[in-house]
């Protein structure tokens, strides 16, 4: 891991997104909670939160962070589901990986919940939308 001992502890935040593209018939089942495995949106939301909290266990060189906030929201659209994850902490290093991990695992969970009815689901893009805190300050995707 990178040595962050000399860095100042500051409030850090990051927001990431993922999109899960699926057919209109799968979207309809998703909206109606008609999938064989049940309420896919809520299961994916909770899976994303759990994953974000375990980022340092999943990605070998990530620092373990005490998160002060982690939320995953999922909006079902006509062509799939838009996932957004927000992570915050007060630490010496940022929470970009926690936000990205939360969004990615929420997306993979939606895939798992929907794969019985559709095999051609596509995940992407998965990307950081913004981050703030630390020496580099604020960054936002244009």
List, by residue number, the catalytic residues.
112
- How far apart (Å, rounded) are the C-alpha atoms in residues 15 and 118? 29
Q: Within 13 Å of residue 63, how many CA atoms lie on the same side as its CB? A: 15
Tokens of 140: 């936002």
- How far apart (Å, rounded) are the C-alpha atoms in residues 91 and 133? 9
């Amino acid at each position: 891991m990178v040595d962050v001992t000399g860095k100042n502890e500051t409030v850090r935040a990051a927001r990431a997104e993922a999109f899960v593209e699926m057919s209109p018939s799968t979207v309809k089942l998703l909206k109606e909670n008609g999938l064989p495995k049940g309420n896919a949106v809520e299961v994916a939301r909770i899976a994303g939160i759990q994953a974000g909290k375990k980022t340092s266990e999943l990605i070998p060189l990530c620092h373990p962070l005490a998160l002060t906030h982690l939320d995953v929201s999922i909006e079902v659209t006509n062509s799939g589901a838009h996932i957004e994850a927000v992570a915050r902490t007060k630490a010496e290093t940022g929470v970009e990986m926690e936000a990205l991990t939360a969004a990615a695992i929420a997306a993979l969970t939606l895939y798992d919940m929907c794969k019985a009815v559709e095999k051609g689901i596509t995940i992407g893009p998965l990307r950081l939308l913004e981050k703030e805190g630390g020496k580099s300050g604020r960054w936002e995707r244009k």
